[in-house]
């Protein structure tokens, strides 16, 4: 077996503040654009790895700050979504994309089962197993839990402009979504809405249906427009804004 340099093969999940006192659990499934050298950028120019197709720009930084602001545990991905998307069910078209927006991904074309399974075993399963274990422990301890997963979206998709500053996506957690939207709308200059620019579906989403709805845990996915996270001041502004908009609830210690 060829040795893998540690920095080229990071852990599938970075965990922050796992024993934080908040009832909020933060996820960031598209936190990283990292791709091990052996994948050769999947046949793409290196510049493509800085685009939204490779990760959710600014989402990791917002998640880190929000974790500190709320004293909340956070789970962040270690690899690019182009290798395998942690928020898509395994085996679906979006799991290992051959086309992202209008960009073909040569290194994902014609993959066999062995490589698909390898990526799942290295990148997907360890992330979600760690999240699931954390949620299991909270349940055993009677610790209140709500899930907020942080994403960002491109301002223009396939030539169509998206006017929203942010969206709050949800399945069963309508009350939590509406409470967050109400908090954001305190700033009357913001254009925010429920279930934009996407909607939650079991075929195209993983965290909210599986970690949230299936467990009876309130879970929402927050999308922030990427141009609003293009610099540090924007990232801090949105972290502070979300910290104020997410409604407070009883806190408890995770043991």
| Whether pLDDT at 5 is above 70 | no
Over residues 135-150, the mean pLDDT reads 98
Residue 151 host element (H or E) = strand 146-153
- Report d(CA 194, CA 16) in Å as an integer: 28
Structure tokens at 196: 């934009």
Helix axes 174-184, 232-245, angle to 10 degrees: 120
Over residues 116-123, the mean pLDDT reads 98
Confidence of residue 50 (pLDDT cuts 50, 70, 90): very high
φ/ψ bin of 121: left (φ > 0), alpha (ψ from -120 to 50), beta (otherwise): alpha
* Total-model pTM: 0.95
Over residues 210-224, the mean pLDDT reads 98
- Report d(CA 15, CA 72) in Å as an integer: 11
| Whether pLDDT at 37 is above 90 | yes
Average model confidence (pLDDT) across the chain = 94
pLDDT at 241: 98
pLDDT (tens digit per residue) in 228-239:
999 999 999 999
pLDDT at 249: 77
pLDDT at 252: 38
Count how many residues are written for the chain: 255
pLDDT (tens digit per residue) in 67-104:
999 999 999 999 999 999 999 999 999 999 999 999 99
Cis peptide before 91 (omega within 30 of 0): no
Residue by residue, DSSP assigns 107-139 as: GGTT--HHHHHHHIIIIIHHHHHHHHHHHHHHH
For residue 47, how many other CB atoms are within 10 A of its CB? 8
- Report d(CA 67, CA 73) in Å as an integer: 6
Report helix, strand or coil for 103. Answer: strand
Burial class of 45 by CB neighbour count within 10 A (0 to 12, 13 to 18, 19+) = exposed
pLDDT (tens digit per residue) in 185-194:
999 999 999 9
Percentage of the chain beyond pLDDT 90 is 93
Domains of the chain: 6-245 (3.40.630.40)
């Amino acid at each position: 077996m060829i040795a893998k340099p540690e920095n080229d093969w990071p852990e599938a999940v970075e965990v922050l503040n796992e024993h934080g006192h908040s009832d909020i659990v933060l996820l960031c499934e598209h936190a990283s654009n990292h791709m091990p050298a052996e994948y050769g950028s999947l046949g793409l120019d290196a510049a493509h790895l800085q685009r939204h197709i490779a990760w959710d720009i600014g989402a990791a930084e917002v998640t880190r700050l929000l974790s500190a602001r709320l004293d909340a545990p956070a789970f962040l991905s270690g690899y690019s979504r182009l290798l395998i998307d942690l928020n898509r069910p395994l085996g679906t078209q979006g799991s290992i994309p051959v086309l992202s927006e209008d960009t073909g991904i040569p290194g994902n074309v014609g993959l066999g089962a062995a490589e698909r399974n390898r990526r799942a075993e290295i990148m997907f399963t360890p992330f979600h197993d760690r999240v699931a274990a954390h949620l299991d422990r909270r349940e055993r301890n009677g610790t209140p839990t709500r899930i907020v997963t942080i994403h960002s979206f491109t301002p223009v998709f396939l030539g169509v402009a998206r006017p929203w500053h942010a969206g709050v996506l949800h399945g069963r957690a309508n009350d939590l979504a509406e409470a967050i939207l109400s908090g954001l709308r305190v700033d009357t200059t913001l254009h925010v809405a429920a279930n934009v620019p996407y909607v939650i579906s079991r075929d195209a989403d993983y965290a909210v249906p599986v970690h949230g709805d299936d467990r009876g845990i309130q879970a929402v996915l927050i999308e922030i427009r990427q141009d609003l996270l293009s610099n540090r001041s924007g990232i801090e502004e949105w972290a502070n804004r979300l910290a104020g908009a997410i409604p407070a609830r009883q806190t408890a210690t995770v043991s």
